[in-house]
Chains A and B, each alone.
Chain A
Amino acid sequence: MEDEVRVAVETDDDLVTARAEGRALAQRLGFQRPDPTLIATAISELARNLVMHAGQGEIIMRSLREERRHGLLVIVRDEGPGIRDVDAALRVGHASRGSLGLGLPGARRLMDEFEVDSRLDEGTTITMRKWRVRDELELLRERRERRQAT
């Protein structure tokens, strides 16, 4: 059973929606404190970058369920101008228009995996994931529930 939430991002109010949805999904997936807050903060940063530089785009949040770990995948996609120098944009203090250049590197530090795919004049897709290891108790409970279901 995969969980997916899509948020169209165009205005400042959509940032508030996007981070609330991200937090809610993280909690549904069993992420413990402080992870839902870290995930919501990373989403907030990327959503702001999107509104600021591309004007509009989409955020897709999806559950990743593996045997030993659960994860949350976040895809932030736009068809904006693209990032000229991705490596520079990932460095702290690389200021762009209207920002201090903290958003991208900050978001990367808040998540476990972070990839930027950007093409000039075509758009930017940022994919990030956060994982949590499932402990023995959780696995035992799941096996028991599965047995009871059959």
Chain B
Amino acid sequence: MSVAILRTGDYLVASIQSDLSDPEVLALRDELLERVGRLRALGIVIDVAALDVIDSFAARALCSIALTAKLRGARTVVVGVQPDVAIAMVHFQLNLEPLHTALDLDEAVALLERETRRKRPDGG
């Protein structure tokens, strides 16, 4: 699968390297959810800058990652949605509400820091 998943502190960073087929999108979802449990991650960052197309299937898969990860105690932030891809996504009238987005990795990590600080026993 052309996705690199790295761990940095309490977070997982999934960096998509090229366009993904549907089974690859689902494999990414399962892999992330498994690792959230195993590594006790508090946050997931998914970099989608390499995706030229995010159609209704991929958008739904991203939402489903965000929702299921949340049930497992982790927040998800999607970064790098290309402008043209964003325009296309709006046409699907999909509820993208569950998706937190940020422009780049730094912003995503800052967002996760704010979101997860409350949850840590030592107050961060």
Contact = CB atoms under 8 A, between A and B. Distances in A.
A12 B23 contact: yes
Interface in B13-67: 19-23, 52-57, 60
Interface of B: 19-23, 52-57, 60, 82-85, 87-88, 91-94
A133 interface: no
A41 B56 CA distance: 9
Contact of B56 (A16, A19, A37, A103): A103
Majority DSSP secondary structure for residues of A touching B? helix
Q: Which 4 pairs from chain A and chain B are nearest by CB? A: A34-B84, A37-B84, A102-B56, A106-B92
Interface in A57-81: none
A116 interface: no
B20 to A, nearest CB: 8
A38 B52 contact: no
A23 interface: yes
A50 interface: no
Interface residues of A, number: 26
Interface in A8-29: 12-13, 15-16, 19-20, 23
Nearest to A51: B22
Nearest to A106: B92
A34 B90 CA distance: 13
A30 B53 CA distance: 19
B28 to A, nearest CB: 14
A33 interface: yes
A104 B84 CA distance: 20
Contacts of A92: 93
B93 A102 contact: yes
Contact of A44 (B23, B55, B82, B84): B55
B87 A37 contact: yes
Contact of B84 (A12, A33, A102): A33
Contacts of B92: 102, 106
